[in-house]
Each structure stands twice: as C-alpha cells, then as structure tokens.
Amino acid sequence: MFAQLQDEKIEAFLPLQTTIRQWSDRKKKVMEPLFRGYLFVKTDLRNRLDILQTDGVVNFVNTRGKPAAIPDRQIDWVKTVVAHPGTVSREQYLNVGERVRIVRGPFSGIEGIVIRHKGVMRIVLSLEVIFQAVSVEVSETMVERIPVVPTRALRGERTAEAQSKLSGY
C-alpha cells in the first residue's frame, strides 16, 4: 500500500520500528509499523478517491465526519523519533501527565507527557487525532515544563493570572 501510494506520486509516510519476533525455533528482527493500521498521507483531498482506491486503504481518520489532519509539527516529531530507533517504544495514549518540551539533544523541540518506565524517564508523544502514542527515553536535564493555563481560563472564566499569561503581560 505504501509503495503503491508513492508510485502514484502521493506523499506518504509509514513510520517503522525494528522489533524482535519469536518463532518456535528462532528469533528474528523485523520491521513493523510504529502505529499499527495507520499510514500517513499529505493531501489536499483532491486525490482522495485515488487514495481510498489503493489496496489496503480502508478510510481516512475522521473527526466530525471530515478527514482529520495531524499537524505537520507532530509528523516531524515522529520522523525525528524514528530516526533514533534505539530509544523508541510504542505506548498507550495518555490523557493525563505533566507536559514537557525537550530542550536538548536530538529530540529538541518535541513536546510530550512524562512517564516513568522501570525507573527511567520517558516522554510520550501523542498524536491526538488517531489516539496513538510513542515514547522516547530522555534525561530529566533535557526537558522543561510547559506552563499549564488554569482550567477556569479554558472555559472562558479567565482569572487575572491566566489573563496575564494569555496576553503576555
């Protein structure tokens, strides 16, 4: 499906990861999609029918009946992560946790949620539109907190503190 889209000159991205598969008689390293069941295409939807007629394509991910767009910034994050395969691990999508921005190293600029796995800090990068996530291992010294706007401010009941943060004063 990925190769077929590329042959049709449709910009497609299939993030892969190396995993070890166990058979009864041996172990083998294999490449598999980082997000099972998802392939990303960059399109203005004029070629929507060509994409949907590609063998293996089921549908676009939809939000409120319209094809959902994943921000380019998040796709760039995934491209950066898969370029460093030794640190990538598939994760459950998380709605809670402290949001941070990585400020040093190869993942600089990536934002995500902190988790701890076996005593090691990992940052979960979430693709909200498709409810998928991956994590990367980083040192605590490589991240900074992203300030949280108070919940009341998000509902339109802005406090003086939230107003000053939103307006830059």
Decide if domain 83-169 falls under CATH 3.30.70.2190: no
Average pLDDT over residues 117-122: 81
The confidence band for 135, taking pLDDT boundaries of 50, 70 and 90, is very high
pLDDT digits over 43-91, tens only?
888 888 989 999 988 889 888 888 888 899 999 989 998 888 777 877 6
Please give the model's pTM, rounded to 2 decimal places: 0.60
Average pLDDT over residues 127-133: 88
CB of 61 within 8 A of CB of 53? no
pLDDT at 58: 87
Question: Could you tell me where in the chain the CATH 2.30.30.30 domains are found?
Answer: 83-169
Residue with the larger pLDDT of the pair 32 and 160: 32
Average pLDDT of the residues of the chain: 81
> Which residue in 15, 16, 62, 18 sits closest to 40, CA to CA?
15
CB of 7 within 8 A of CB of 51? no
For 59-81, b/e burial (b = at least 16 CB within 10 A) is ebeeeeeeeeebeeebeebbebb
Type of residue numbered 114: V
